[in-house]
Amino acid sequence: MSEGIIATVNDRVITSFDLRQRMLMIIAMSQVQPTEENIPAIQQQALNALIEERLQVQEMAKYPDLKISDEEVDEDIARMAEDAGTTPENYMRFLEQAGIRPSNMREQLRTEIGWRALVGGRFNTRAKVSRAAVDQAMRQLTEAASKPQYLVGEIYLEAARVGGQQAAMNGAEQLVQQMVAGAPFQAVARQFSAAPSAARGGDAGWVVQGTVQAPLQAAMEQLEVGQLSRPIPVEGGVYIIYMRDKRSGASTSLVTMKQIMVDLPETASPADVAAATARLEALRPQLTCDNMLARATSEQGLL
């Protein structure tokens, strides 16, 4: 059976077979039931994902040392199988029975893992964090401790990727219905969400009151633990929020923290970084909050 080319990303093609395989993956892994209403959205999501992956592969090719081992792919499959409550062998067998080639699945995961490594810092070890940035982060932590916080899962449908704001709203409504009917939130987030948290099953972590858009803040304040929101329209797309936990702000008993760091140039080598780490490890038993400032100002290279 001949496979037509449906898109070209620079010099890499996407065939109708690629598209069908990705649609099957989305359906199987999200456990969303295909309907006449949601098939167009699934097809668009599959095409968007394939285009994005082709671009990611081209970008990763610029880093010849970025290689993802079979063991790393196996670990990702094991985590996904654990989320689904089964073994890796049974999980892959289930996907095969759904018509998905294991090789296609593994290549998709290899790209996802490689991209996470690239943007997550494995190949950005020379990034320098300034003392001002550390101080600002510490102030933000102290301020956040006094405000209510929400542990949330998120699914974000970007209007530009799904055919407009109304299409995003309709798609979100269908996803909510599917999750109410039993489709797992994490699996749906992995396959449909455009947020960076999609790779973590939609885990957005703890969100501090006042740090998100007003419609999201209002929804978080109203949701009880274990509840799923209705679609929340925002500029550019639609969110679905799952409230995993809540905690109130601690107005008292805040801990005062201090920090010390080694100043490194942006061109620092891995050996320089290792030496700085060893220096801090050696200093750690000698440091207290009372003497830290004095040590930082009296020894060369410390901040």
Report pTM. Answer: 0.62
- Does 93 fall in a domain? yes
Same domain for 207 and 263, yes or no, is no
CA 18 to chain CA centroid, nearest Å? 24
22-45 burial, b at 16+ Cβ within 10 Å, e below that, comes to bbbbbbbbbbbeeeeebeebbebb
- Does 127 fall in a domain? no
Q: What is the CATH number of the domain that holds 111?
A: 1.10.4030.10
Give pLDDT tens digits for 149-177.
899 999 999 999 888 999 999 999 999 99
- Does 87 fall in a domain? yes
Q: Which residue has the tokens 């620092």?
A: 268
For 256, which DSSP code?
A: P
Same domain for 281 and 220, yes or no, is no
- Does 56 fall in a domain? yes
- Does 223 fall in a domain? yes
Average pLDDT for 190-200: 87
67 SS3 class: coil
Q: What's the CA gap between 268 and 46, in Å, rounded? A: 41
Encoded tokens for 34: 């295909």
Residue ranges of the alpha helices (H) in 61-130? 70-83, 88-97, 102-120
pLDDT at 75: 94
* Residue 5 pLDDT > 90: no
Within 13 Å, how many C-alpha atoms sit on residue 9's CB side?
16
CA 258 to chain CA centroid, nearest Å? 30
pLDDT at 68: 92
Q: What's the CA gap between 18 and 32, in Å, rounded? A: 20
- Does 45 fall in a domain? yes
Domain count, the chain: 3
- Does 303 fall in a domain? no
Encoded tokens for 251: 């107005």
Average pLDDT for 110-117: 90
Q: What's the CA gap between 157 and 41, in Å, rounded? A: 11
Nearest-10 Cα torsion for 288, 292, 294, 298: 120
Same domain for 104 and 9, yes or no, is yes
Same domain for 13 and 63, yes or no, is yes
Within 13 Å, how many C-alpha atoms sit on residue 87's CB side?
3
* Closest among 157, 287, 148, 298 to 232, alpha carbons compared: 157
What residue numbers bound the domain in which 218 lies?
138-247
Give pLDDT tens digits for 253-278.
445 556 667 776 666 666 777 777 87
Q: Which residue has the tokens 């960076």?
A: 196
